[in-house]
A and B are shown apart, each in its own frame.
Chain A
Amino acid sequence: MTGVLLHAEHVTRRFGRFKAVDDVSMQVQPGEVVGLLGANGAGKTTLIRMLLGLIAATSGRVELLGGPPDRQRRRRLGYVPQGLGLYGDLTVRENLTFSARAYGAAEPLLPSALTRYAGVLIRDVPLGAQRQVAFLAALAHSPDVLVLDEPTSGVDVLAGASLWDTIRAQAEHGAGILVTTHYMQEAQQCDRLLLMADGRLVAEGSEADIVGSTTAVAVRTDNWARAFAALDRAGAPVMLEGRAIRVANTDPAELAEVLKAAGIEASLQKVPATIEERMLILARGAKAS
């Protein structure tokens, strides 16, 4: 299958004077898993809703499977929202039957891990299994595009890994997948990342591209509690890292002065920041401006 699956070109969406999405261009190709990152209010949900055709763009072009996102094209789309979209008072099997019929697909078979839940009400099933069922429901009609909202939020590592197995398998079959996540471990599973802030696309590419030139300082000291307190008092964005301390986006020299003034011995090292630290800096920058 060829052709771009999801396409946004200079898309803007306004609500009154507020720009929820501001001149964003992106695409998702077959066979790739794209991760969409961003703080709350960054515009991720609005962008997705435009890609799904739930709301219209104020300006710019949105394409789903080569054309405007209408009901016909949505038949080849699989969507798992954060709330999973399952009916709590129906059993697993009943939920799958309903979804399959709604899309006109054959009912999916339950994998061995889930067979014991077949007749159990969805709300009585643990979250990891619920997510698996939601996936099955979304995949029953063999969609070409998948849009997943926080697919492994709140789920343990083993179940999460198995969900990602499913996602990867779909990509290998040629589907294109757009995932939103707050979970950095999950971001690392994606082929490509998109970082949004204040409605704009701020960075794009690999993890290194997202972090960009943001750095942090790792502080190693025996007296971590006092060091933490001293740096915190000085207004630095301090974080615990086991028994070491990290400070995002600061000059080591400044920190060294603070620590010396407090009489604390420590070794400081400049290291690349994490994605979250980049997001933290962006958020602080937005607040300041």
Chain B
Amino acid sequence: MIVKEFRELVRDRRTVAMLIAMPLLLLVIFGYAANFYVSSVRAAVVGPQASRAAALLPSYFDVTLTDRSGDEAYAETLLRDSKVDVAFVTGRTPVLALVNGSNLFAAQSTVAALNKAGREVTTQVLFNPRLKTSWVMVPAIIGLILTFIGTIITSIGLVREREAGTLEQLAVMPIRPSQVILGKIAPYFLVAALDMVIVTVLGIALFGVPFRGNPFAFALGAGMFLFVVLGIGVFISTVSQTAGQAIQTAFFFLLPQILLSGMIFPLAAMAAGVRWIGYLLPLTYFTMISQGIMLRGAPITALWLPFVVLAGIAVVVFTGATLRFRRDLAPGNPASPPREQQTAAEAVNTA
């Protein structure tokens, strides 16, 4: 009995991958990525004494911008557009330090550092004045939910067709593959969109999370992200034979995104060797968009990078996934010989 189970386990490649690869992955991630301590933040210094103040700042503050003519409003814009994480406004006493509250851990470290400066600096945290975790998490969780629905739920729904053997029938009917794909994805798109609205509204109602930006921009970003994850879901369904396999594969896509997209551990704090993985993940970019719009009210122009990246990923993933799906559906492709009587005898279950 033991021998048999071992043999079956070894044959189940996906489970083996999970048993071996997953612990290794977790170890690597926690080793290199899990870090709440931010070692330096991007800073801007504006106002008449900009250059002098910049020289005085400790190395923790990486001054990337100085502008003698800038004022408080300008500093706020810099933070809103996430060009820097802290902006110092000189030309007044005490000097005003504006901190980006939507970047939680950076903000916490910065505030701690600034408190040591005593009465020379007044600190004001923008966007998330009380540095509440929930305010930062809710925009990220919206993305997580979309990812969950898009990958796991969609792939299961599509694999069901393959499991039942009815894909063959669709292939012979007078419908085009694109119609089948659209018809299959539409319900998940609608459900995911509805879910997103519910979570957003609840997040705002329960936790007081603000929504300062343009709802249309938010919807656009969410829509594009949804396309990406749905495309991943379709792709997973083309490489899985059963719902169980689909779930396992979707899990592989989901776990790295939870850990490495900046949702839990800040990207800036990750070792560079692991951080680049975060930059490949779609959820990273959606979180930039959702946090930017909800907390900072950032305009699309400031968020052009994540939008463009998401659009690019969406096109690539969706095209690849639908091409693979079409291959399964489109007749005229001797991709695999039929398992003749086997399917007939298996499928027909006498009561």
Contacts and interface: CB of A to CB of B under 8 A. Distances in A.
Whether chain A touches chain B in the assembled complex (some CB pair under 8 Å): yes
B8 A87 contact: yes
Contacts of A126: 340-342
Contact of B11 (A89, A97, A127, A128): A89
Interface string B338-349: 001110110000
A155 B3 CA distance: 31
Nearest to A127: B341
A98 B341 CA distance: 26
A41 B342 CA distance: 24
A259 interface: no
A153 B345 contact: yes
Contacts of A102: 1
A94 B341 contact: no
A60 B96 CA distance: 95
B152 to A, nearest CB: 24
Contacts of A98: 1, 3-4
A188 interface: no
Contact of A90 (B11, B341, B342): B11
A90 B350 CA distance: 26
Contacts of B341: 126-128, 154-155
A87 B4 contact: yes
Given A90-B4, A98-B4, A127-B341, A121 B11 contact: yes
B7 interface: yes
Contact of B7 (A90, A154, A182): A90
Nearest to A124: B339
Interface in A124-181: 126-128, 130, 153-155
A128 B342 CA distance: 9
Contacts of A127: 340-342, 345
B163 interface: no
Contact of B351 (A41, A97, A128): A41
A154 B344 contact: yes
Question: Which among B8, B11, B344, B345 has the greatest number of chain A C-beta atoms within 10 A?
Answer: B345
Contact of B345 (A41, A87, A94, A154): A154
Question: Which among B8, B12, B340, B350 has the greatest number of chain A C-beta atoms within 10 A?
Answer: B350
Contacts of B8: 87, 89-90
Interface residues of A, number: 20
A275 B4 CA distance: 43
Contacts of A40: 350-351
A82 interface: yes
Interface in B307-351: 340-342, 344-345, 350-351
A40 B350 CA distance: 7
A122 B11 CA distance: 12
B7 A94 contact: yes
Contacts of A153: 345
A89 B3 CA distance: 13
Interface string B1-30: 101100110011000000000000000000
A213 to B, nearest CB: 28
Contact of B350 (A82, A94, A97, A123): A82
B351 to A, nearest CB: 5
B272 to A, nearest CB: 42
Contacts of B4: 87, 90, 94, 98
A98 B4 CA distance: 7
A182 B351 CA distance: 13
Nearest to A90: B7
B269 to A, nearest CB: 44
Contacts of B11: 89-90, 121
A40 B11 CA distance: 36
Nearest to B12: A89
Contacts of B351: 40-41
B346 to A, nearest CB: 8
B190 to A, nearest CB: 37
A130 B8 CA distance: 18
Contacts of A154: 341-342, 344-345
Interface in A215-245: none
Contacts of B340: 126-127
A88 to B, nearest CB: 9
Contacts of B3: 97-98
Interface string A87-121: 10110001001100010000000000000000001
A184 B232 CA distance: 50
Contacts of B12: 89
Contacts of B350: 40, 82, 182
Interface string B146-171: 00000000000000000000000000
A130 B3 CA distance: 21
Contacts of A121: 11
A126 B3 CA distance: 25
A90 B12 CA distance: 11
B254 to A, nearest CB: 26
Interface of B: 1, 3-4, 7-8, 11-12, 340-342, 344-345, 350-351
Given A40-B350, A87-B8, A90-B7, 13 more contacts: A40-B351, A90-B4, A90-B8, A97-B3, A98-B4, A102-B1, A123-B342, A126-B342, A127-B340, A127-B345, A128-B341, A153-B345, A154-B341
9 contacts: A90-B8, A94-B7, A97-B3, A98-B1, A98-B4, A102-B1, A127-B342, A154-B342, A155-B341
Closest 3 CB pairs of A and B: A154-B345, A154-B341, A89-B11
